[in-house]
Amino acid sequence: MTTVLTKSFPQEKRPSTRAAQGKKRVLIVGGGFAGIAAARALKRADVDITLIDRRNHHIFQPLLYQVATAVLAPSEIAAPIRQLEAKQKNLSVLLAEVKGIDLAARTIEAICPEIGSRKLAYDFLVIATGMHPSYFGHDEFAQFAPGLKSLNDAETIRTKILSAFELAESTDDERERARQMTFVLVGAGPTGVELAASIAQLVSVTLRNNFRKIDPAKSRIVLLDGGTRVLPSFAESLSRKAATRLTKLGVEVATGVKVEKVDDQGVIAAGVRIPSATVLWTAGVSASPIVKMLGTRTDRAGRAFVGAFMDIPEAPNVFVAGDAATMTQDGHPVPGVAQAAIQQGRFVGQVIAGRARSRKDGRPFRYRNKGNMAVVGKNFAILEAGHLRSSGFVTWWVWAALHVLALPQLQNRFRVQTQWFWSYLSGQRSSRLISEGPRPPAS
């Protein structure tokens, strides 16, 4: 964890416990889509807000796979959370990690780097801590198959992918060369599909003519999933089109296949060994352990069951929003996507603003689905919005425009737009950096 912000909150400064007399104290845990949306919804409320996160930055997760495949640099899809303080006078940011929640005392225990434990009191608590990769009871897979949920994850994956080609170029062992040039992705949801397509274009376009002994275009990219089709959250017709597109890009799609083992040599799926030096986990997710501290009922993924106003039965003024929450609407679960998290966070902020003024709650939360999109390489994306289903080049341009507009800062939008334009014309990627590991001490 970075400690760059530790000097911003010395021990004697306790922003969440020094609320002005009569003001309610709001603690928001998590600086993702839901947490920031909740904070912004409280901008004009007469409350004191403390936004707590163990990272100092907000990530635009829909483009995280492009950092992992060297299209974008980490700074192009991230923004410092602390900049919210300059725009919102009733908000303070605290770099810390929550280690305990006491619902009865209305306090949380937070660990600040290099400072230690602090207890913070609240009148309203919002848990918006997002999700972590889930290995379905096989946590031993994690050391060999990284997930993709943070900038560190993205940089780890980028290093693994680029290092594989360097090692393939260096070795004279044909079997090892083939293993280094085989990439296995476990999970064919949006992240797996987008990541596989981006790797396919990396090897066929960007790395072309970059090596003397190997041809990156001959790499093997395998996308595995235990379900019956890729992108199961989309209509079957769009799923088929995405699978066809992946095949054209050179990705081997294998559905109905369960991964039984992941180790340093690759994977065993359906009893067959696939030698690979780069296995990426894009399958299941589970909620942050912080949700368990609430002592409320959770689903199999560890997400809290919330009521109509996004609160929990054990404490009406404790809310869970975003991927950490689960709720059903019209017989279907609200999806764990960015637009749902933003809507829930905004709703929670509005509910808190009303309760802080002793107003009755208005209408319960209702998710408004504005459509789902997934991009499958250059010039191809799919869109499902109600009865509208589209795919192809025009849909890809719509996807690109919407994602640029949704980035957190103007400078992010400018940089991403410029980088995409250059990459589109040249086929090159500007962030092909291999992170250096620690150097051994000199003898």
Query: Which pLDDT value is given to residue 436?
Result: 81
The whole-number pLDDT of residue 21 equals 59
Once rounded to an integer, what is the mean pLDDT over residues 247-263? 97
pLDDT band at 442 (very low <50, low <70, confident <90, very high): low
What average pLDDT does range 314-323 have in this prediction? Answer: 95
pLDDT, tens only, 160-207: 999 999 999 999 999 999 999 999 999 999 999 999 999 999 999 999
Give the mean model confidence (pLDDT) for residues 23-45.
97
Could you tell me the pLDDT band of residue 265, with boundaries at 50, 70 and 90?
A: very high
Closest residue by Cα to residue 88 from 12, 36, 29, 13:
36
Contact between 181 and 216 under an 8 Å Cβ cutoff? The reply is yes
Q: Which residues contact 193 (CB under 8 A, 6 or more apart)?
A: 223, 230, 231, 242, 246, 374, 376
327-371 pLDDT, tens digit each: 999 988 999 999 999 999 999 999 999 999 999 999 999 999 999
Strands, sheet with 91-95, edge to edge from the N-terminal-most edge strand: 91-95, 47-53, 24-29, 124-127, 315-320, 311-312
Mean pLDDT across the stretch 51-60? Answer: 96
Question: Which sequence spans correspond to the domains of the chain?
Answer: 24-54+96-133+286-356, 139-283+371-426
Mean pLDDT to the nearest integer, 297-302: 94
Q: How far is CA 165 from CA 181, 253, 432, in A?
A: 7, 22, 12
Q: What percent of the chain has pLDDT over 70?
A: 95
The pLDDT score that the predictor gives to residue 13 is 40
- The pLDDT of residue 435: 84
pLDDT score of 20? 55
Q: Which helix (H) or strand (E) holds 84?
A: helix 84-87
Residue 127 has pLDDT above 60, yes or no: yes
Q: Is the pLDDT of residue 400 over 60?
A: yes
Query: CA 307, CA 232: separation in Å to the nearest integer?
Result: 27
| pLDDT of residue 440 exceeding 80 | no
What is the model's pLDDT at position 19?
A: 53
84 to each of 20, 57, 80, 91, 122, how far by Cα in Å? 20, 11, 8, 7, 20
Of 3.50.50.60, 3.30.70.20, 1.10.357.10, 3.30.2350.10, which CATH number belongs to 24-54+96-133+286-356?
3.50.50.60
- Kindly list the catalytic residues: 194
- In this predicted structure, what is the pLDDT of residue 17? 46
Banded model confidence at residue 284, pLDDT cuts 50, 70, 90 = confident
pLDDT at 6: 34
Band the pLDDT of 81: cuts 50, 70, 90: very high
- Please tell me the class of the 139-283+371-426 domain: alpha beta
For the cut 50, the answer to whether the pLDDT of residue 218 exceeds it is yes
What is the predicted pLDDT for the residue at 5? Answer: 34
CA–CA–CA angle 277, 279, 282 (5° rounding): 165
Whether residue 135 is predicted with pLDDT greater than 60 in this model: the reply is: yes
Comparing 24-54+96-133+286-356 with 139-283+371-426, is the CATH topology the same? yes
Per-residue pLDDT for 83 more than 70? yes
What's the token pair of residue 262? 């992941």
Q: Mean pLDDT, the chain, as a whole number?
A: 93
